[in-house]
Structure 1
Amino acid sequence: MTTTGSRPIPDLPSSCLRWCRAQPPALLVADEYVEIDLDLWNLRLAERRVDLRLVAGGPDGGRVESGSGYLRRSDLWAAGRRARGSLEESVVALYMCAAWLTGHPLRSGVRRGLPDFRVPERDRSGWRSVSSHGYPLVLHEAANWLDTPGEAMNLLRNGAPHGRAGRGVPDLGFPLASLYLSSLGMAWSQQHIVPVDPAGIGTLVHAGWTEIESIGRMTPRRYQWYLELVSAWAEEAAVDPLVVEMWLVHDWCERRSLVAPTGSSAHNPPGGRLR
């Protein structure tokens, strides 16, 4: 056991070191992809009167607007770069992150159905920091707080600073919020911002991390501690923190597959939600 600042962290598992060093880091994370049903997503968006359409990549690398498509992590990073330009692009980036996370076979943390990141109409009169379409402005403003990821997370989850009205972005749990911040951070921050997943937290608890027992106990401050732990392990392994985060998820799923029968509820990480 070592410490990061005043926070104790468990020792780097040898299995993590071996796995991370065996990966091609230049391609591993950027090419992590999921297949999504564009017709279903865009139908749901239209039904909820969300003014955007998702597009994705085709098998040959071209752009597709209907049928099945592929979203890579690099697509999320590109969306994160565009998100700095406007609130509208921020909304697109967040929905792309939601689609990627929902479609990922090893990850969880998005509620069933289509998330709606707008403040309900009945509540908008009490908010001074919401767009004409109902989106909290903190969704876009978070890009200005990326050098302090815990504060950026607090902004998304709990609302704007300086006493302005609002509670944060609706339908936004820690897995999706952290994936969004990580996508923004690839272009706009020097900080190592990685996603947090229920499976990854399960692996950290298994390795001896005692800050929380499940993602249900996550807070913005604990998210900052989580980032410090992942960065410390990545520095020791001499790999990118995003590779360590991938190992956290893969390790949990691999260990559960060895002890749980197929279809068992044990395949769902502590604090995770079924898609």
Structure 2
Amino acid sequence: MVPKDCVLWAHHQPYAETVLDDYAEVDLDRWNHRLAARRIPARVYATDADGRQIESGIGHIRRGDLEASSTRLDLGPAPGLNRLYLCAAWLRSHSGRGGLRRFPDVRDPHDTAHPFDAIAKALDACEAMPTLVDTGAFRNWSGWPDAPGVGHSLMSLYGWAVHGSAPDRPQLLDTFSAASLVRYGWLVGAGASQFSVRTYARYSNLLHRWAGQAGTRAEIVELWLNRDWQRRLDISAHQDALTLW
């Protein structure tokens, strides 16, 4: 059952402003220099203060910009890798997210002749229907797509970005949100970074179920869980500081 505090908070959160306008400030030079140095055929784009698309300097990436349906950023005729790194830049640069700590190098170390074939297949698998979180007799639970350098949080965010119209849209697997769910009684035997696809499907479907109970969107529920966990971390840190004093 969805916590009452979540319901009360959710009813005051407009989806467009709370979720789609949730932005991160990104150092584009740092990202694009690393991509160029590794010869990864991708670029990270953002917007400046006037809303113009840029690829150098400090820019802003909204969560809504990650969506395949968004027209704010032109990611080119083959946007897969650009979108993946756009998601990575947002996730890594966002102060409230804890799901990406290393630069995602998507080159396949086992296939130097075709280093990007594996990631291309993984992105195709994420974009295909049924989605990673769809359950049923068809599901063989073969695991996450083989995506070199891409962790579960980034893979889940990419799935969210490319399945905007799906009724059970894949949700962002956030370390803080998953930890918060455990606090509210969800039984799982591993941290978010060790989630199997089956566990991730349970996580995403639970967010949708709570959203239905609260009369809101799954993204709002996930964000509440994220902020609830961070609030408790702040309280704990404050109590520790008082103890040290």
TM-score, length basis structure 2: 0.85
Residue 28, structure 1, aligned to residue 28, structure 2: no
Aligned counterpart, 2:94: 104
1:33-58 CA deviation, whole Å, 9 max, x = no partner? 00000111111111111122221011
CA distance in 2, matches of 1:52, 1:78: 16
Matched ranges for 1:1-275 at <5 A: 11-78=1-68, 88-112=78-102, 114-120=103-109, 122-123=110-111, 135-149=119-133, 157=144, 159=145, 168-187=146-165, 189-261=166-238
Are residues 214 and 138 of structure 1, via their aligned partners in 2, closer, same or farther at CA, if it must alter by over 3 Å? closer
Q: CA deviation at 1:22?
A: 1.2
Identity %: 33
Inter-partner Cα distance in structure 2 for 1:156 and 1:145: 15
Taking the aligned partners of 1:17 and 1:134, their CA distance within structure 2 comes to 41
**Change beyond 3 A, Cα 1:146–1:107:** farther
Whichever residue aligns with residue 162 of structure 2, its letter is L
Q: Which segments of 5 or more consecutive residues in structure 1 lack a partner in the other structure?
A: 1-10, 160-167, 265-275
The alpha carbon displacement at 1:134 in A equals 6.0
What secondary structure is seen at the aligned counterpart in 2 of 1:135? helix
Offset at residue 79 of structure 1 (A): 6.9
Preserved contact between residue 108 and residue 115 of structure 2 (Cα < 8 Å): no
Q: Encode CA deviations 1:59-85: one digit per residue, 9 max, x unaligned.
A: 121212211000001110037899xx9
| Secondary structure in structure 1 of the residue aligned to 2:34 | helix
| Alignment partners' CA distance in 2, 1:48 and 1:262 | 44
Instruction: Decide whether the 8 Å contact of 1:146 with 1:181 is kept in 2.
Output: no
Return the offset for 1:214.
2.1
Distance 1:134 1:244 in 2: 33
- Asked if the contact 1:108/1:175 (under 8 Å) is kept, the reply is no
Q: Distance in 1 between matches of 2:188 and 2:120?
A: 30
* Cα-to-partner distance string for 1:149-205 (whole Å, 9 max, x where unaligned): 2589x6782x4xxxxxxxx00112111111000001115x33222101110011101
Gaps in structure 2 of 5+ consecutive residues: none
Please say if residues 153 and 193 of structure 2, whose CA atoms lie closer than 8 Å, have aligned partners that are also in contact.
no
Structure 2 vs 1, CA of residues 198 and 54 (structure 1 numbering), >3 Å: closer, same or farther?
Answer: same
Question: Aligned to 2:26, what secondary structure does the other structure show?
Answer: strand
Verify the 8 A CA contact 2:108 2:118 in the aligned structure 1.
yes
* Per-residue deviation, 1:133: 6.2
Contact 1:38-1:69 within 8 A present in 2 as well: yes
Distance in 1, Cα, partners of 2:118 & 2:193: 27
Q: Which amino acid aligns with 1:173?
A: G
Q: Kindly report the root-mean-square deviation, in angstroms, between the aligned alpha carbons of the 2 structures.
A: 2.9
The 8 Å contact of residues 84 and 158 in structure 2, kept in 1 or not, is answered as yes
Residue 138 of structure 1, CA deviation: 2.6
- What does residue 8 of structure 1 align with? none
Q: Distance in 2 between matches of 1:156 and 1:170?
A: 14
How far did residue 141 of structure 1 move? 3.3
Q: 1:49 to 1:104 in 2, by over 3 A?
A: same
